[in-house]
């Protein structure tokens, strides 16, 4: 407890970084969901070339760490292209690309989990493709993907801490700067870990609830 009293005066400054953390999370989630949807429909469309480009894009961002994208876009891109983006834009884009790739996979698994027979039943009733997706396929997909989507969100919130490497003033960066001036690394980093857990905890609870619900709905179809 002693240690935490010592850093009490630093806490508001560090905690204020949560705004940047949460903003980055929200922006990357929004862009990630939209781009993930686009990617999965392009991929599943089987349009030659386009579909392969989508697959390559998804796999690249699934297989490579967002930390490298951040460093690359911040330090290398300006050298190669003369184009300089500010730190928050770099982080938002890099995290969006990662979330987009993960969401594309979540959507794909969700869409493919809907049995072909549901498509046939809708087709034989004469529903248009749009109506089939709107009323039959997407509502069922949504129930399946709620829980895994929440997991992507939880990972994203933690990954925003990568922004610290290029000096963006989110939680971890503020903590590092503060700790390197007062040398209370143990106390400050412990506090930071707790702060991330507190921010993420509601999401985990949500994920668990959604998971139970989606299992219930599909138990005996």
Give contact residues for other proteins (rule: CB under 8 A): 117-118, 120-128, 131, 135-136, 139-140, 143, 217-221
CB 98 within 8 A of CB 66: yes
CB of 129 to other proteins, least distance (A): 12
CB of 132 to other proteins, least distance (A): 9
Nearer to other proteins by Cβ, of 9 and 128: the residue is: 128
Nearer to other proteins by Cβ, of 144 and 171: the residue is: 144
CB of 121 to other proteins, least distance (A): 4
Three-state secondary-structure class, residue 103? helix
Rounded Cα–Cα distance for residues 148 and 62 (Å)? 15
Nearer to other proteins by Cβ, of 76 and 121: the residue is: 121
CB 112 within 8 A of CB 59: no
Q: What separation in angstroms does the CA of 112 have from each of 7, 46, 220?
A: 51, 14, 18
Nearer to other proteins by Cβ, of 136 and 168: the residue is: 136
Dihedral of alpha carbons 117, 120, 125, 129, sign: positive
């Amino acid at each position: 407890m002693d240690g935490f009293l010592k850093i009490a005066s630093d806490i508001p400054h560090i905690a204020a970084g949560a705004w940047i953390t949460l903003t980055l999370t929200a922006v990357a989630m929004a862009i990630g969901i939209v781009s993930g949807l686009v990617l999965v429909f392009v991929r599943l469309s089987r349009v030659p070339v386009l579909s392969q480009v989508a697959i390559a894009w998804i796999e690249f961002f699934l297989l490579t760490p967002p930390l490298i994208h951040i460093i690359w876009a911040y330090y290398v891109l300006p050298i190669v292209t003369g184009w300089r983006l500010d730190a928050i834009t770099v982080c938002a884009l890099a995290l969006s690309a990662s979330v987009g790739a993960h969401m594309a996979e979540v959507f794909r698994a969700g869409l493919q989990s809907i049995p072909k027979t549901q498509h046939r039943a809708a087709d034989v009733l004469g529903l248009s493709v749009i109506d089939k997706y709107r009323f039959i396929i997407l509502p069922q997909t949504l129930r399946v993907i709620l829980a895994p989507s929440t997991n992507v969100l939880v990972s994203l919130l933690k990954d925003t801490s990568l922004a610290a490497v290029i000096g963006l003033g989110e939680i971890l960066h503020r903590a590092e700067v503060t700790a390197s001036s007062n040398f209370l690394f143990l106390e400050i980093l412990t506090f930071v870990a707790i702060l991330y857990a507190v921010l993420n905890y509601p999401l985990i609870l949500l994920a668990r609830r959604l998971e139970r619900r989606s299992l219930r709905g599909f138990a005996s179809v």
